[in-house]
Amino acid sequence: MAEKKAQSQQSGAKGTIRIRWFRSYIAAPVKHKKIVKGLGFTRLNQIVVREDTPSIRGMVKKVPHLLEFVQ
């Protein structure tokens, strides 16, 4: 079982998504600003790599006008 876990950790990139912050949140509600900051963005047009979990996908789904998935 430990070998299986080690193999899944080594593959790494399979369980990740790349997200880009492409639009400013100046006029957005505070809740949207907190979501963008919670995903780890610090500047516009930045791309971050996050684990592909339902919570991360839910955060991105809340602000689709500010964020986009990148390949």
Provide the domain limits for residue 21.
14-70
Decide if 7 is inside a domain.
no
Give the per-residue pLDDT at 13: 55
Decide if 59 is inside a domain.
yes
- Please report which residue ranges of the chain form alpha helices under DSSP H: 2-11, 30-38, 54-62
Angle between helices 30-38 and 54-62 (to 10 degrees): 140
Residue 33 burial (C-beta neighbours within 10 Å; 0-12, 13-18, 19+): middle
Q: Which domain CATH number covers 39?
A: 3.30.1390.20
Decide if 21 is inside a domain.
yes
Query: Is residue 7 predicted with pLDDT exceeding 70?
Result: no
**CA atoms of 18 and 25, how far apart (whole Å):** 19
pLDDT 10s digits, 14-62: 799 999 999 999 999 999 999 999 999 999 999 999 999 999 999 999 9
64 DSSP assignment: T
> In total, how many domains does the chain have?
1
Decide if 5 is inside a domain.
no
**Is-above-0.85 flag for pTM?**
no
